[in-house]
Structure 1
Amino acid sequence: MPMESDVVHIPQGSVLRLLDGEKEFLLKAFEPRGISTGCIDFQQNIVSFPQAYVGYINLPTRRIMIDPKHNGVNLRHIIRIYYFLYSSDSSDLDDPIYDVDSGGTFDIIELFISELDKVAKKGLPVEYREGRENLQYLRGNINVVQTMMNKQLGRRDIFDCSFDELSRDITINQVLYKAYNKAIRIMDMEKASLLNRDFGDISDIYQVPQITLNTNTMYCKKALTLAYMILNDLSVSDYGNQAYGQNFLVNFDRLFEDFIKKILVTYSGDYNFTYWESEKQYAVCSGADYDDYFKSYIPDMLYLYQENEMPISAFGILDMKNKTSKPFSNADVYQMFFYANELHSKRVILCYPAGREQQNAVLKFNNEDFSLKQIHGVYINIAGDTSKEFKENINMFIDKIKALM
């Protein structure tokens, strides 16, 4: 891993000149995220990092830290949002998991191994699973018909038994094991060997399920969240000679959208906040040179959506804009006008992240003929280093939104 002196910090969406040999490793980091190679100027050895992404990329001789563009916000605050999305319920905002360690590491694998070690020392979670086996002795419930057949066939293990037994081969451990296998090349080999013994009877999985934690598995919360980070947003680059680097890239735009959705759906206490799972058609395009095709749209979030009415409508529209510039860009205003027209909406709110507490903004239109009279901008402070501040910022944001609705 590059030393601290070899760490280069750049703001989100910046341009960086590459050193010789770095393009190939950058392409490997971009590929799993579906990032276009068009952002790399191969002639000039320059990369324009996509605006949406934050995180870090380990190159053979240096680490590139892509910092959030909001003043006061760093990658640790982004990781906290990830914890919130993957591990929270409506009653745990005071959990120490939301405290930000200002002197702690950014390294996702290092964090994961530390948490996985804590889980392993306490013991991997177990569940009762039904087993069935032919035995020389009675265990659990005997299956009489099959047992009689075994006896007639002269089998040594004649008792066909069904029984419950504790098993560690359960979904939460399978997810942890899958993340461990992805991280193993970056790990200290002694630590990797010790942890591997804990996963000796855990099955490999191909698809990663979403785990619902309960009181018996809550102690795995942080390790599980870091496992999802590794599986979803981290890639490993092979430098050759058994040297490897990790790349952690998070689509901050999408993360912020999911963050606001979960806040309002889960924590607001108002069940009128909803969102669509798929786009809806609003027009058909026809032309002499191509087949007809449909145009569609999907707002980020709706309030009081009336699907069964004709025409469909929503009292309010909320859209998430991860920007540091002044609110209400022309493109955003045009987009909101269209959404409001389609859904006959009376309220439109743009939600912005911030690194400090900011007052609401409002855009009032001069033209009195517009059906939409104004657009509101509401900020949520995603900085602050304690779980108390995190909880207060979330509740303050909820109050602002509900007051406007």
Structure 2
Amino acid sequence: MEINLKQGESIALEPEEVESFIGICNAYGIKFHKYFNSVSNIFTFPLPFVGYIKLLGKDIYIQPRHEKFTLAEVFMMKLCSFNLNQEAIIVESFQDFISYGNHLPALTELFVKELTKTIKKGMPLEFKKRAVRTENFSGNVNILQTQLNLFLKKKKPVVTTKDNLTIETPIGFLFNKAVEKIKTSINPADYHFFIEHLPSSAPKDLRFIDKIDIARNALHTSRCVQLAKAILFDLIPVNLKGKDLGEAFLINYDYLFEHFIAHVLMTSKAGYLFSKPKIPTKYAEFFKDEKVNEKEVLPDIAYNEMNVGLKIKYNGVLDVKNKYPSIFSNGDVFQVLYYSQKFNSDRAILIYPSAETQCYTKLELEEKIPVEVYACYFNIKSLSDGSFVKERERFADEILSLLC
């Protein structure tokens, strides 16, 4: 049975499904009882989440509330967030996923298929202490210095221009971790085949996994790498009382869009001028329950941050809103106007998703407020129509032109 929902919609749970949903919610940091009506057995999905839950005999798809956007496009955005310097390669290598639309297949099935293919074709050579082979990786290696370091038996011989090129990030280790996570959900024959062919010597933690970077000449491995990361960071195998029941893959779409836009700007040609504030700034306090309570603000993205005395100043504040097609809600406008006042900025930009490429919109304020407010749009469909690189550059250039 297939059930299609929009973000924030509800579903009636069978009694035997409640425990599975509790486990899924706990894994994603969702407070189950906040969204579950125990009288009617109705569960309402938290508004930011999209994705799927596949149980025995039931596939539940939580689709973007914006009808022009698909789960496949959100999934592409998620994959791009794993390799923050190789979005163009990822978008190119996963173009066939667009045909899935709002009905993504199980990631475990996709991963098993891609990993089998990768093993049969051969993985790019990994770094070894006695042999440095880098032709299948991105980045530049200082071969002469590396060979000298090998001769001198230095502990970390590889000298590169990118931290992702180290002997501490073997791809086989990444695949091993993903296989171990889903081993109860895949065919035992596939599991033993993978364990037999994948190298196992590697660090015992995940600290280096996000640094694994695959170049264009190893696209068949790149697909497998991205799926492995999706499994490790976002997929939850659903297993109840030793019985495999399926899997869940949920994405906080609001957070993802904000993170994605911040990265697009911070890796643009003037990316050094953009930053993502991490420490909230206090703007008020009140006394209640015999203690002082503070109120704080934290803009999504800041432009040209400076310290002026003891205060922080931004030349521009940007806030990302995953809303479509409406723009300039009162709450959004008041929010960025206050940000501008608090951080002494004369430019404020609200960023929205769009289903086509379009120019910015300026908000004409009636009051004489010394702040210019704009809405800018990133075309989500560029992830599926082949225009991503062009759209990324256009968007970053437009934002910069409004702030300069």
Q: Aligned residue for 1:238?
A: 239
Unmatched runs of 5 consecutive residues or more in structure 2:
132-149, 158-165
- The change in CA–CA distance for 1:243 and 1:336 in structure 2 (over 3 A counts) is same
User: Shift of the alpha carbon at 1:111?
Assistant: 2.2
Q: Deviations over 1:41-86 (max 9, x none)?
A: 1111111111110100123331110011222221111121122222
Q: Aligned residue for 1:301?
A: 301
Moved more, 10-19 or 234-243: 234-243
- The change in CA–CA distance for 1:101 and 1:234 in structure 2 (over 3 A counts) is closer
2:355 corresponds to 1:355: yes
The separation in 2 between residues aligned to 1:174 and 1:387, in whole angstroms, is 34
TM-score normalised by the chain length of structure 1 = 0.81
Question: What percent of counterpart residues are identical?
Answer: 24
- The change in CA–CA distance for 1:186 and 1:91 in structure 2 (over 3 A counts) is closer
Q: Aligned residue for 1:380?
A: 378
User: Shift of the alpha carbon at 1:90?
Assistant: 6.4
Q: Aligned residue for 2:27?
A: 32
Q: Aligned residue for 2:319?
A: 319
The separation in 2 between residues aligned to 1:257 and 1:300, in whole angstroms, is 7
Q: How do 1:174-189 residues align onto structure 2 when only pairs under 5 Å count?
A: 174-189=173-188
- The change in CA–CA distance for 1:291 and 1:207 in structure 2 (over 3 A counts) is farther
User: Shift of the alpha carbon at 1:171?
Assistant: 4.3
One-letter code aligned to 1:304: N
Q: Aligned residue for 2:399?
A: 401
8 A Cα contact 1:98 1:387, kept in partner: no
The separation in 2 between residues aligned to 1:352 and 1:310, in whole angstroms, is 33
Q: Aligned residue for 1:57?
A: 53
Q: Aligned residue for 1:292?
A: 292
TM-score normalised by the chain length of structure 2 = 0.81
SS of residue paired to 2:97: coil
The separation in 2 between residues aligned to 1:54 and 1:124, in whole angstroms, is 34
The separation in 2 between residues aligned to 1:13 and 1:250, in whole angstroms, is 13
What RMSD over aligned residues (CA atoms) do the two structures have, in Å? Answer: 3.2
8 A Cα contact 1:18 1:47, kept in partner: yes
Q: How do 1:17-96 residues align onto structure 2 when only pairs under 5 Å count?
A: 17-37=12-32, 38-89=34-85, 92=88, 96=92
- The change in CA–CA distance for 1:69 and 1:163 in structure 2 (over 3 A counts) is closer
The separation in 1 between residues aligned to 2:292 and 2:314, in whole angstroms, is 29
- The change in CA–CA distance for 1:185 and 1:124 in structure 2 (over 3 A counts) is farther
The separation in 2 between residues aligned to 1:366 and 1:106, in whole angstroms, is 51
Q: Aligned residue for 2:367?
A: 367
Moved more, 346-355 or 268-277: 268-277
Aligned residues: 370
Q: How do 1:82-121 residues align onto structure 2 when only pairs under 5 Å count?
A: 82-89=78-85, 92=88, 96-104=92-100, 105-121=104-120
Q: Deviations over 1:180-219 (max 9, x none)?
A: 1112222222222211112353357344432142659955
Q: Aligned residue for 2:135?
A: none
SS of residue paired to 1:50: coil
Q: Aligned residue for 1:391?
A: 389
Unmatched runs of 5 consecutive residues or more in structure 1:
1-5, 132-139, 144-161
The separation in 2 between residues aligned to 1:100 and 1:214, in whole angstroms, is 19
One-letter code aligned to 2:399: I
The separation in 1 between residues aligned to 2:70 and 2:217, in whole angstroms, is 29
- State which of 2, 5, 8 in structure 2 corresponds to 1:10: 5
8 A Cα contact 1:378 1:401, kept in partner: yes
One-letter code aligned to 1:189: P
Q: Deviations over 1:24-54 (max 9, x none)?
A: 2211111111111211111111111111101
One-letter code aligned to 1:181: E
User: Shift of the alpha carbon at 1:362?
Assistant: 3.1
User: Shift of the alpha carbon at 1:309?
Assistant: 4.8
SS of residue paired to 1:110: helix
Q: Aligned residue for 2:276?
A: 275
- The change in CA–CA distance for 1:179 and 1:307 in structure 2 (over 3 A counts) is farther
One-letter code aligned to 2:196: R
Between Structure 1 and Structure 2, whose CA radius of gyration is higher?
1
User: Shift of the alpha carbon at 1:337?
Assistant: 2.0
Q: Aligned residue for 2:248?
A: 247
- The change in CA–CA distance for 1:296 and 1:188 in structure 2 (over 3 A counts) is same
- The change in CA–CA distance for 1:348 and 1:106 in structure 2 (over 3 A counts) is farther
- The change in CA–CA distance for 1:110 and 1:168 in structure 2 (over 3 A counts) is farther
